[in-house]
Structure formats: C-alpha cells, structure tokens
Structure 1
C-alpha cells in the first residue's frame, strides 16, 4: 500500500515464465527506464526477476517486493494448472514484503488449487508474510449471472483459505464490481487487473469506477511496461488510485477492448 493511502498500485513482472520474452520485458534491463519509481507500491515477480531487480538497485526504497511462488509456461499441455516453483524460505531470503500465487480454476484442477492455497497460506502466515492470490475462473459459464455466481464462490474459497488479498479480472459491469466488493472486501482486499493492452481512456475510466466502489487498487502489468511513456503513465495511475471520489451505485457498462 502507498504510505499515504489504504490503496496500492502493484506492477506484476512475472510474465516471462508464462509467456516467454514479450515486448517491454525481453530482459530485466528493459525495466530500467521506469521501475525505480515511487508511483509503484509494489513490484511482483518470480524469484529470479526480484533477485536481479534488488541486486541491480532497480527498486525504489518505497516500493515493496512480492515474490510469486507458482507458475507454468503457456506452451505446456496443461498451462492453467500452476505448480509451485519457489517457497517462503526463498522469499524471506530475498527480503520480500509479501508473496503471491495464481490459481486458474478449470473443470479438473479444483483439488490441486485448493490444496495449494491452503498450504501456501499456512506457510506465508507462519513467516509473517501476506499472501496475494491471482484468481481466474477458466470455466465458460452459460450466462453472466452464472459467471458472477461462480466468481463469488471462488472468492469465498480464497477468503476461507486465509488469503489477505486477491487480484481479479474486471467483470463486464461496474454493477458486478460493486457487488463483489460489497460482499467480500471486509474479509479480503480486492485488486483488479489491468488486463490486455487497452487504451488509456478506458483504463482510467475503469480504474476510477473500481476505486470509487471500494477496490483496494490495481495490479497492472502490460499496460505499464508496454506503454511508450511508462513513468508519466504510472504517475497518473497512482494519482487515480489514491484519489478520493464520491461513491455511486450506478451500474456503468464499459468495454475493455
């Protein structure tokens, strides 16, 4: 979280394990132009990336480090079933402020995911580290109502396991955002993902609406490190996340494409 706010702007740079070298993050030094920045409350990455960022003095003193503990390359046959690739001991050695995992729920990996969530939460809390869970439902629901119902159930699963914060893809409607936050935010902090590369206009509109409805902040990667002017963009985004706005119940539709 920002020192002067109860909200945060987390920048994940864990994409390399999943996607390989992508534009804006081919190698660690691609982050040099923007990652040392007090507009970022925390950087999230796999152990190798975090270790290099620390060793090269690339993180601002006010920026926290979140070590991502699981993953799977998207060229793997079952890429949605993430496996553990690091542990709490390594995160502590790196001086991490928190840890994270990603759980993509399919029709066949519930047992794996819930067991992993339980074990990681126990280990993280025993070490005094908060846990952020990136939560994605990969099952194609037959309706919007069923999609929201499933997400509510999965959010409750994550909260029951004891996770401290969750990262979600933005639902299709701000009305759904309001419902999710109202129901779950007293038990778990809710951050929303930036998603695929999109326009600044749409992204700031969505961010303002989510924050207005009580979100704890953003967890945004590609829209930062693939931006032509990431430092200026991060400054504006941080101001948007910190800004106090008047709450509204109006359900606004928006398009992330």
Structure 2
C-alpha cells in the first residue's frame, strides 16, 4: 500500500497535464543565510503563490510559515528538505540530517528531498544517509528527490563518467527523482537522460544566474529529450519578474515548447 501512496503523492508535485514538474527550491537560507530575493519570507509573497509552480521545496520551518500564511497555491505540492549544512562550516559539503520523515508527514508533505555533495572523503556518510532516508521515505509512502552534486573537479570525459556513476548510485539506492546541474555541453543531455530516465526521474537545476533566453533554451532541450522538468531557485527568486519567468518555464516543462520567450 505504501507504493500506491508514493505514486499518488508523486502526481501532486507534477503538472497533471504533462506529468512533468517545475519545482522551486527555497531551502537556500539554511545554507547561505539571507540572500537577494530571500532576505525574508516576505520577499517570496509576490510570486510563490502562482499556479506555474508544480511544487515548492524547503526546510520544515519555512514550509510551516508558507502554509500558515496561506502563501502557496492550492495546487502546489510540498517537498520538505531533510538535510543540510551551513556554508559557515569547514565541512559544508557534508550534509547532516536536520529533520525527519515524521516531521514531513506532520506538515502534510507530498514528498521529501535530501542533498548529497560528493567529495573525496564523504562517500560512506552519503551512502549511509541515502540508504536510510530512502527506506524510511518509502515505508511512509513518500517519494524522495535527491539533489546530486559532484564536488571533485574533473575534466571530460571523466566528469561525465563520474556523473553517470553517481546517478546510478542514487537510482540503485531507491530515489524516485534526482536533481542535476546542466552538463557543460548541451550535447550530453540526450545520452544522459536516455541512459537513466527509465529508472529515475531527472530534474535539471537552474544553477547560477543566466539569461532568460539561455534558461528557456536549455529547458526546452532537456524536455525534448525526456527530462522530467526543472528544480530551479535563484534564477526565479532573484529575477526581476519571477511570475513572468515561471509562466515561460512552465510552458516549456508542460511541452508547449514552440512559443517564443515573452516576459511581458
């Protein structure tokens, strides 16, 4: 029965028309502190309730505030992020658990997420955390999204080989979805998605700030080749017109890929 509940909740974090998603993470405060576009919860109010977001992802305290202040659209799914570490730490890339499956369920979450940054020293920690959290989430009937980052500097073709291995690890340990940075070359997207998307949903991250045209173009390319959508934060909440950008991106994610970029 938990599998049925997991599949039902998965639908709530996706657009029903396409079964793809535009997930907006707002978990940056724990890691980076107050940053532009997220100096306070009030900064989110102008756009976070729009219908162009399939799900919002954040730490338990911020999710609670968004719910209590009625800031989310009724159709927007909720993903509670379960681990983290402040950038102030000397070991900021080794995330630790800061919440639980029970806390996520009490908040009414539709899914949970964790982040794993792989350095040369933290493989054992990340493997143990991934295995334990995935088991607990699935037992509770919650889908789990893993945000995956390789922090070891490497060059082609080693970096792509490492990325493929890491995605396979996350899939083997049971994650339902993975968030990845766009590869350096767009030519790598088709093979990457084709290799893994039958086993795990692939969402691409927005990453550092880029132009709307670049973001829409890369999104279209990813969707055409079978990605499940975007998991994008700073490019939204630090944009001058977040609602307009979200509308454009939602059209791309839903498959309305022929329209020109129009932020009017």
Query: In which range does the TM-score fall when normalised by the shorter chain?
Result: over 0.9
Q: What does residue range 195-214 of structure 1 map to in structure 2 within 5 Å?
A: 195-214=207-226
Give, in angstroms, the shift of residue 113 of structure 1.
Answer: 0.2
Aligned to 2:120: 107
Instruction: Name the SS for the 1:144 alignment partner.
Output: coil
Q: Deviations over 1:133-181 (max 9, x none)?
A: 000000111x211000001111010000000000000001122111111
Query: Which 4+ stretches in 1 moved above 4 angstroms?
Result: none
TM-score for both structures, normalised by structure 1: 0.94
Give, in angstroms, the shift of residue 29 of structure 1.
Answer: 1.3
State how far apart, in whole Å, the 2-side matches of 1:3 and 1:226 are.
Answer: 27
Aligned to 2:162: 150
Aligned to 2:6: none
Q: What does residue range 53-202 of structure 1 map to in structure 2 within 5 Å?
A: 53-141=66-154, 143-202=155-214
Q: Deviations over 1:28-50 (max 9, x none)?
A: 11100000011000000000010
For structure 2, the 5+ residue unaligned runs are: 1-13, 259-264
State how far apart, in whole Å, the 2-side matches of 1:102 and 1:109 are.
Answer: 13
Give the number of equivalent residue pairs: 245
Give, in angstroms, the shift of residue 91 of structure 1.
Answer: 0.1
Alignment of 1:237 with 2:233, yes or no, is no
Q: What does residue range 3-18 of structure 1 map to in structure 2 within 5 Å?
A: 3-18=16-31
- Contact 2:251–2:257 under 8 Å retained in 1: no
* Alignment RMSD: 1.0
State how far apart, in whole Å, the 1-side matches of 2:191 and 2:255 are.
Answer: 21
TM-score for both structures, normalised by structure 2: 0.91
State how far apart, in whole Å, the 2-side matches of 1:153 and 1:244 are.
Answer: 32
